[in-house]
Structure 1
Amino acid sequence: MIFGKIDYINLLPLHFYLKSSKLPSYVKKSIEYKKNVPAKLNKALNEKRIDCAIISSIESKKSKYKNLNIGICANKKVLSVLVEKNSTQENDKESATSNALAKVLDLKGRVIIGDKALKEYVKTPENYIDMCEKWYDLTKLPFMFARFSSVKNHNQAKKIFNDFIKHNLTPNQRIKIPNYILEHFSNTRQISKEDIKNYLNYIYYKIGKKELKALRIYIRKTKYSG
């Protein structure tokens, strides 16, 4: 199984879970080799250069994909999907879902996502609009930023990911991430460990009825046809 990995802090609990699991070593190595930003994983899965990945939720609607109810979700706030206030209109080349969301929300300015967005937000939150917060104001629903999709080895991935969800229903139930890993991400992303831990409290992975309803509304508003 060739699994593509989004190399962002928001999937740190999943990555640690996979690293600690009983997966064959060649699978674990492939995950590290195939890590990238969402937009590039979208392209890799579309071209079948990987078997499965958590990709942009808007991309996951393509009929060629099998999807699991597992992804990157947030409710009311997310801290890492932003539009910069008083800035020139600019999309984030790493994203598909967030660029489209900014248009749905009629937000003008620079779109910025992922760890670089979190790094800026924790320093000067007053300079940014949290798109998850704006989405909640509009719909009173959470938002699904990404979803697990596959073109191959779907049943194998389903077993692995369902076990992960059982351990990660709420932030309090999550597998504790060792300090040395937090230290590594803190140093490489230049974000404090406390800010990383706080941020992960906003992220959850189980997609339920509200998240699916939100995705349907979002897709309808983007007029995306797949």
Structure 2
Amino acid sequence: MEKIRFGCHSFLNAKPIINYLLQKKEYKDKIDLFLGSPSEISDKLLAAELDIGFIPSIEFLKNDNLYLLPDFSISAYGKVMSVLLISEKEIKDIENILLDTRSRTSIVLLNIILKKKYGITPSFITPLEGGEKKRYDARLLIGDEALEFTYEKKGKEAGKIIDLAEEWHEITGLPFVFAVIASRKKEVPKQFLKILKESRDRGIKNIEEIAEGEYKTCNIKKEALIDYLKNRIDYFLTDKEIEGLKAFQEISFKKGLIETKYDFTFATAI
């Protein structure tokens, strides 16, 4: 097998999938692992700087030249704790929101929920536009920062807090798929899939060990990390996750958030 350039986001929820890739020397001879934000991974994959990447689901839905790897995702069946809308106002009164642009999927999901459930279309501000210096009514918080906000009760005085995955599940009854693994080529080496599956399965079995190593470098208690990684995140891509991904595609298309809708094409193992 030629060495695979594989990109994965560096948020905590990916640790059970990549932890053993980082630890095992024999994996390093076969996989060149790049860590970055979800949007960075997507950009590098589309620019052919990566062969395979764990990318935001919205980026997969926008690009019909990518192939979906079976059996892998970052999904949630309800409250996820790491993708939040935090508002000082009642939701119906929000006029503008400061975004976190590292996760494009979360931005589209936020747009859908605000339109579909609350009937509002606030303006969005990004940090690049000087958003953090402007006054805003609400803020999209994602990743490890959102986890600290949730588990360590830093947000208890913040006013309204909405968990976007929980809102999606209430609206659709389906899991929300935040990220999938996609390939630029239809054919993917069996050995790569075997290594990735082995890494994920071992990671899931050893979440307590992963939490033990991670909590010392973040502001989240070990017990909270275990709850998040074990009970809030799903790491597979079953028929149910595919159904959730297709629902996300359908709603995004109808609301004009993606330009086209196409059938998913799965990568094949060789």
Q: Shorter-chain TM-score: which interval?
A: 0.7 to 0.9
Give 1:85's aligned residue: 87
8 A contact 1:16–1:177 mirrored in 2: no
Higher alpha-carbon Rg? 2
Cα displacement string for residues 162-212 of structure 1 (whole angstroms, at most 9, x for unaligned residues): 4456x37xxxx9321464x53442132221111110101211111112211
Cα displacement string for residues 103-131 of structure 1 (whole angstroms, at most 9, x for unaligned residues): 00017631111111111111236542111
Give, in angstroms, the shift of residue 10 of structure 1. Answer: 0.5
Q: Does 1:154 align with 2:188?
A: yes
Give 2:223's aligned residue: 194
Partners of 2:51 and 2:226 in 1: CA distance: 30
Partner of 1:116, secondary structure, is helix
Partners of 2:146 and 2:30 in 1: CA distance: 30
Q: Which of the residues 250, 256, 261 maps onto 1:220?
A: 250
Partners of 2:239 and 2:174 in 1: CA distance: 10
Give, in angstroms, the shift of residue 142 of structure 1. Answer: 0.8
Q: Does 1:104 align with 2:112?
A: yes
Q: CA RMSD in A?
A: 2.3
Supply the AA of the counterpart residue of 1:2.
R
Q: Which of the residues 10, 17, 24 maps onto 1:7?
A: 10
Give 1:95's aligned residue: 103
Give, in angstroms, the shift of residue 72 of structure 1. Answer: 0.1
8 A contact 1:39–1:95 mirrored in 2: yes
1:52-67 alignment runs, 5 A limit: 52-61=52-61, 62-67=63-68
Give, in angstroms, the shift of residue 41 of structure 1. Answer: 0.7
TM-score, normalization by structure 2 = 0.73
Give ranges in structure 2 of 5+ residues lacking alignment.
90-95, 123-137, 261-270
- Relative to structure 1, is the Cα distance of residues 194 and 58 closer, same or farther in structure 2, using a 3 angstrom cutoff? same
Equivalenced residues, count: 217
Partners of 1:98 and 1:208 in 2: CA distance: 21
1:99-178 alignment runs, 5 A limit: 99-106=107-114, 109-124=138-153, 126=156, 127=158, 128-152=161-185, 154-156=188-190, 157-164=192-199, 167=201, 174-177=204-207
Partners of 1:184 and 1:37 in 2: CA distance: 21
Cα displacement string for residues 14-33 of structure 1 (whole angstroms, at most 9, x for unaligned residues): 122323557443345x31xx
Give ranges in structure 1 of 5+ residues lacking alignment.
none
Partners of 2:51 and 2:252 in 1: CA distance: 27
Partners of 2:165 and 2:207 in 1: CA distance: 25
Give 1:51's aligned residue: 51
Partner of 2:162, secondary structure, is strand
**Identity within the alignment, %:** 28
Partner of 1:148, secondary structure, is strand
TM-score, normalization by structure 1 = 0.86
Give 1:185's aligned residue: 214
Give 2:77's aligned residue: 75
8 A contact 2:21–2:27 mirrored in 1: no
- Relative to structure 1, is the Cα distance of residues 26 and 162 closer, same or farther in structure 2, using a 3 angstrom cutoff? closer
Supply the AA of the counterpart residue of 1:135.
W
Q: Does 1:204 align with 2:234?
A: yes
Moved more, 149-158 or 196-205: 149-158
